[in-house]
Amino acid sequence: MIQKILSQENFTKEDIVQLLNCSKEEQILLFEKSAKVKEKYIGNYVYLRGLIEFSNICIKNCFYCGIRKDNSKVSRYNISDEEILEATKFAYENNYGSIVLQSGELQNDTFSDRIEKLITKIKSISDNKLGITLSCGEQSEETYSRWFNAGAHRYLLRIETSNIDLYKKIHPNDDTHNWNKRLDCLISLKKIGYQTGTGIMIGLPFQTIENLADDLIFMRDFDIDMCGMGPFIEHIETPLYQYKNNLYTLEKRLNLTFRMIAILRIIMKDINIAATTALQAIDDIGREKAIRIGANILMPNITPNEFRDKYILYENKPCTNESSSDCKNCIDVRMKIAGNTIEYGKWGDSLHFQKQSE
């Protein structure tokens, strides 16, 4: 049955639902197709983004997240500028090509100024050679512009779900957790000229397969340049933990994530798709499988060791006891096993974005 769908140029929502619900045998065809699309349009290459989780202080209270503001069990940290620059140097010296600065959400002038200065410094110590992706939440258009002008060129802001009702169920009902505002942020980012990335969580309580199909359609219609999506993994210190018995099994969430990646690769052939860390929290070779199926971005952790076990958004997060060098040595072997080559020293911009800018 799915052969016919896979032979089409484009998919309807019903097609996507059918692909997400396909049998184990049909899944083989889906993954073969997405792997072929990847090979044809972007090649079997992986680009690195050294990930610095520089602060777990957050003003928000997302019901799923381990570092939400009201989780008093978290010991909060904010890595110094010097340490961030040290980590950046590691990425530069090891030829990673790009870094991601990620943190909990803060919205104030001190934070905006700090990030702006950091971007300028990172650009200067790396001779303008390191690409910079930001993942620092919702900000004003002015702040986004300042960061862009300082030299950041990609921004990740997950919409978390494209369905407003579901969004309301997994966030507090107040003005800081507003789906429309989040969408406005994505619109601003795109307008400013960032390569704009978004994503969702897969296997959330109350989420349906139709919701997931809509998420893919949202990404296609918004014409994103990058995507990072991963399985939802419950965290005991969060409100959504109460639904732990009503969730898909972890294996099913993992498998659905692979299917989502495969379908997204087929419908958005030349975007960047990350093999996210949450995949590895469920399956030791989850990221490698994602790379085989269609993902092309890997984000090795380069957060200084002592802070890693404090940035725990979900349970069983990998690499919390490893150092940046451990992760570096590990990924080379892993990507070889996945039949892909790491493109060291390249920015690895989204081809999708490049084509539109030409």
Site string for ligand SF4, 64-83 (x = CB under 6 A): -x-xx---------------
- Could you say which residues in the range 286-305 bind ligand FES, by CB under 6 A? 300-301
Q: For the chain, what is the radius of gyration of the CA atoms?
A: 19
Interhelix angle 13-20/250-267, nearest 10 degrees: 140
Cβ-proximal residues to 177 (8 Å cutoff; 6+ apart), any chain: 60, 61, 62, 167, 171
What are the C-alpha distances in Å from 133 to residues 48, 49, 100, 300? 11, 8, 5, 14
User: Six-digit token pair at 125?
Assistant: 């110590």
Tell me if 327 contacts ligand FES by CB under 6 A: yes
Tell me if 319 contacts ligand FES by CB under 6 A: yes
Choose among 48, 125, 117, 105: nearest CA to 80.
117
Residue of 97, 104, 203, 231 that binds ligand SF4 (CB under 6 A): 104
Sequence length of the chain is 358
Instruction: Provide the phi-psi class of 75: left if phi over 0, else alpha when psi is between -120 and 50, else beta.
Output: beta
Given ligand SF4, ligand FES, ligand 5AD, none, residue 210, with its beta carbon under 5 to 8 Å by kind, binds none
Tell me if 167 contacts ligand 5AD by CB under 6 A: no
Tell me if 200 contacts ligand SF4 by CB under 6 A: no
Given ligand SF4, ligand FES, ligand 5AD, none, residue 348, with its beta carbon under 5 to 8 Å by kind, binds none
Site string for ligand 5AD, 293-332 (x = CB under 6 A): --------------------xx------------------
Q: How far apart are CA 120 and CA 132, in angstroms?
A: 10
Q: Return the range that interacts with ligand SF4 (CB under 6 A); candidates 12-20, 61-69, 188-196, 328-336.
A: 61-69
Given ligand SF4, ligand 5AD, ligand FES, none, residue 201, with its beta carbon under 5 to 8 Å by kind, binds ligand 5AD
Range list of H helices, the chain? 2-6, 13-20, 24-41, 81-93, 109-125, 141-150, 164-169, 179-192, 209-222, 250-267, 277-282, 286-293, 324-337, 351-357
Tell me if 158 contacts ligand 5AD by CB under 6 A: yes
- Could you say which residues in the range 163-182 bind ligand SF4, by CB under 6 A? none
- Contact residues toward ligand 5AD (CB under 6 A) are 64-65, 158, 160, 201, 230, 232-233, 235, 278, 313-314
- Contact residues toward ligand FES (CB under 6 A) are 300-301, 319, 322, 326-327, 330-331
- Contact residues toward ligand SF4 (CB under 6 A) are 58, 60, 62, 65, 67-68, 104-105, 137, 313
